Structure 1
Amino acid sequence: MEQGSCSQEDCFDLLNQFEHVLQSDPLIDEVGFIHPSQFTMLDKEAGSSSDGTSTNLWNQDHKLGISTDILIQLCKVAKHAFLAVFNKYKRHENACSNESLTKNISSESKVMKHSQAVLLLSSDFGTAWNARKLILPKQNQPLEAFTKELHLSRLILSKSEPKWSHRTWIIKMLSRSSSTPQEIVTKESELVESIGERSKMNYRAWYHRCWLVSYMTIEQVLQELNKSKRWAGLHVADSSCFHYRRRLMLRVLEPLKVKGSNANDKFDAHKTLMEELDWNKGLLKRYLGRELSETGESIFTNEETGIFIGNEIHLLESSMTVLDNKFEDFRAQALHASVYMLWLTKHIPEVWSMLEEKLGTEKLKCVLSTVDQERPLLAFAPN
């Protein structure tokens, strides 16, 4: 069959085959578009013949392969079938008779079936996503339906905005009917991390993970801080994970903003922040020239503030020591340290006087000069 051309009957037959595979194997966890020449190789590797009904589709071990030769016609017929049944559904929805209601129950399943096929082939087709949003809340078992929808969304997930928005919508709907299952939140977080491994700097995925924090218990937040530490340490150039850790730490601090928070909460939050600072300092020394995130929060006592500032100034001094001007990492390290120290002077006013005392006038001028060369808008001294 030539790519992009088939009779109407053949095209609908392709769609029926495709939807039959999807229905017969609801545990499919991966879909890929493959060249026809790969079908034989896949069968050989699997040690058996394909479970698909033709050489256009390959289904083994919950993996589905779709021949690139049929993508265009399959996508066209799937969209045509979906739009036809969805328009019919909307007409019945607008009618008020019992007969229309009965017909619509039948149309709902067809809309869901055809929209699934469309989205697996053309995942940015917003009308299909919206149709599913319209029908899902009406299911007899909404919790089961939303859970299955998460599986479908995960199956076709990538950087595309509609798919992440759809997952957000599903979790919101689940939280309305009952408390959000913590297992789902954990799996969502793990999903983003796995996508981060495959697709670097996937900001939309990490944004979704930050959004999930509001649905986490404090115990889950602490677990996430611990689990994400290793990943962040191995991907220091990916700022998204550090933004995520900042969001987690802000969640740890939330109980302290409630009137009457107890001493244990403050102690735990203080311990978490101090551990983060120590870990962050280790990364700065290990990876020269990297600009790592700050927490942006402080719960130190006056005595602790003095110790903290002293330690940070010592770190600044060591970072300002450029061992070799030939290497940009050392110069970058000095710049980031200087910018960070100026940031501290804005949030903790007493830092400036301690800087003058500990560094001396000449070194302080060196700090300002370093920043002024690269980021002139930041190089200013407090009044």
Structure 2
Amino acid sequence: MKCNKALVLLSPDFGTAWNSRKLIVSKKTQASMFTDELRLSALVLSYSPKSEQAWSHRRWVIKNMAKNRTTLQEILREESDLVEKIAERSKMNYRAWNHRCWLVSYMDREQGDTGTEQSKMWAGLHVADHSCFHYRMLLIIRILEDCCRKQEEGSCDSCVEVYLIWQEELDWNEEFIKRYLGREALWLYCRFLSLLWIRHFTSDVNDVSSSQKSQSSIQVNVSVFLDKELLLVNSCSEGSDDEFEDFEEQAICSASYMLWLTKQIPETKKLELREKIENERLDAMLKLVSLRGPPFGAI
């Protein structure tokens, strides 16, 4: 194991060496060996933060530790802190954030809420990092699943809880879209939030078991949501004579988002939305995006 340690320190992506360590550790019963493996992989990641083999080995260790522990709260907290420190030093580190995304499956509701709040501050300082927003997507989905489970158990406040969470997240994302022009990570996250909003709050529109009153309430929410998004798009499509290209990129991103949104909303709302699009500049940008394709792929 000592010779192997020297080998992985010199060659962090040597998969055979890491696999040999797994084989030896799996035959032992000492919990301290798993702790030592976490320390070793942390040491390797301190100077080779994008080593896929080191991250993979770390996940293998945590899986085995999870079998013998009733709770992983402390490990999850330490892992989140480690990822955040490494991501701060190593920009756009997909592997680090992918590891943190993997941890979401082990989190309870309280840890999910904590992770959402902590990553909000980090995302606000790194608005171009797609991986961080992908992590937030998984946390939001986890919260939604928890609320849906409560709803099945008869909790009448779960739908209201989801509404408040989504409204806060939409407002937060809109604030950063207006502050940081042309950042596609923010616009992609906006698509994610809008898609889940539409699917969740329009899924009961045609439900025969729903009362007429609840159906009307849901449809009004959709209309209000579309009006709000149209105001955002119109404000972002207003260009400037500034020499920088950020304004033009912002306009293209907003038009692309609107074009995407028209394909996601219910059929009953599409005509209503098209009638509201009266901004000539936005209409021109929509045609431009349709001809040359969006600046980034749809999600």
Q: TM-score range by the shorter chain?
A: 0.7 to 0.9
Distance 1:185 1:231 in 2: 18
1:171–1:180 contact (8 Å) kept in structure 2? no
Structure 1: gaps spanning 5 or more residues = 1-111, 379-383
- State whether structure 2 residue 90 is matched by structure 1 residue 207: no
Q: Which residue of 2 aligns with 1:260?
A: 152
CA deviation after TM superposition for structure 1 residue 209, in Å: 0.9
- State whether structure 2 residue 108 is matched by structure 1 residue 220: no
Q: Which residue of 2 aligns with 1:366?
A: 284
Q: 1:130 aligns with which of 1, 7, 19?
A: 19
- State whether structure 2 residue 266 is matched by structure 1 residue 375: no
Q: 1:297 aligns with which of 191, 196, 199?
A: 196
Q: Which residue of 2 aligns with 1:152?
A: 40
Q: 1:319 aligns with which of 216, 233, 236?
A: 236
Structure 2: gaps spanning 5 or more residues = 202-217
CA deviation after TM superposition for structure 1 residue 216, in Å: 0.7
Distance 2:111 2:262 in 1: 34
Distance 2:160 2:38 in 1: 38
Letter in 2 for 1:222: D
Distance 2:251 2:279 in 1: 17
For residues 165-202 of structure 1, give each alpha carbon's deviation from its aligned partner in whole angstroms, at most 9, with x where no partner exists: 10111111112223351111111111111111111111
Distance 2:94 2:289 in 1: 28
Q: Which moved more, 1:293-302 or 1:324-333?
A: 293-302
1:325–1:331 contact (8 Å) kept in structure 2? no
For residues 337-359 of structure 1, give each alpha carbon's deviation from its aligned partner in whole angstroms, at most 9, with x where no partner exists: 11111222222135532332222
Q: Which residue of 2 aligns with 1:82?
A: none
Q: Please list every run of at least 4 consecutive aligned residues from structure 1 whose deviation after the TM superposition is greater than 6 angstroms.
A: none
Letter in 2 for 1:235: H
Distance 1:198 1:132 in 2: 28
TM-score if structure 1 supplies the norm length?
0.65
Q: Which residue of 2 aligns with 1:330?
A: 247
Letter in 1 for 2:276: K
2:97–2:135 contact (8 Å) kept in structure 1? yes
Q: 1:177 aligns with which of 59, 64, 68?
A: 68
Distance 2:248 2:291 in 1: 12
Letter in 1 for 2:196: E
CA deviation after TM superposition for structure 1 residue 164, in Å: 0.8
2:238–2:281 contact (8 Å) kept in structure 1? no
Distance 2:18 2:283 in 1: 58
Report SS of the residue matched to 1:124.
coil
Report SS of the residue matched to 1:324.
coil
CA deviation after TM superposition for structure 1 residue 242, in Å: 0.9
Q: Which residue of 2 aligns with 1:113?
A: 2
Report SS of the residue matched to 2:181.
coil
Distance 2:71 2:85 in 1: 22
Q: Which residue of 2 aligns with 1:281?
A: 174
Letter in 1 for 2:183: R
- In structure 2, relative to structure 1, the CA distance for the partners of 1:282 and 1:351 (3 Å cut) is farther
Report the structure, 1 or 2, having the larger helix content.
2
- State whether structure 2 residue 259 is matched by structure 1 residue 342: yes
Distance 2:294 2:182 in 1: 19
CA deviation after TM superposition for structure 1 residue 326, in Å: 3.0
CA deviation after TM superposition for structure 1 residue 113, in Å: 2.3
Aligned counterparts, 1:34-45, within 5 A: none
Q: 1:195 aligns with which of 69, 73, 86?
A: 86
1:119–1:128 contact (8 Å) kept in structure 2? yes
Q: What value does the CA root-mean-square deviation take over the aligned residues?
A: 2.2
Larger Rg computed on CA atoms: 1
Letter in 2 for 1:360: E
1:288–1:333 contact (8 Å) kept in structure 2? yes
- In structure 2, relative to structure 1, the CA distance for the partners of 1:338 and 1:277 (3 Å cut) is same
Distance 1:367 1:154 in 2: 48
CA deviation after TM superposition for structure 1 residue 222, in Å: 0.8
TM-score if structure 2 supplies the norm length?
0.82
Q: Would you say how many aligned residue pairs link Structure 1 and Structure 2?
A: 266
CA deviation after TM superposition for structure 1 residue 114, in Å: 2.0
Q: Which residue of 2 aligns with 1:58?
A: none
* Percentage of matched positions with identical amino acids: 49
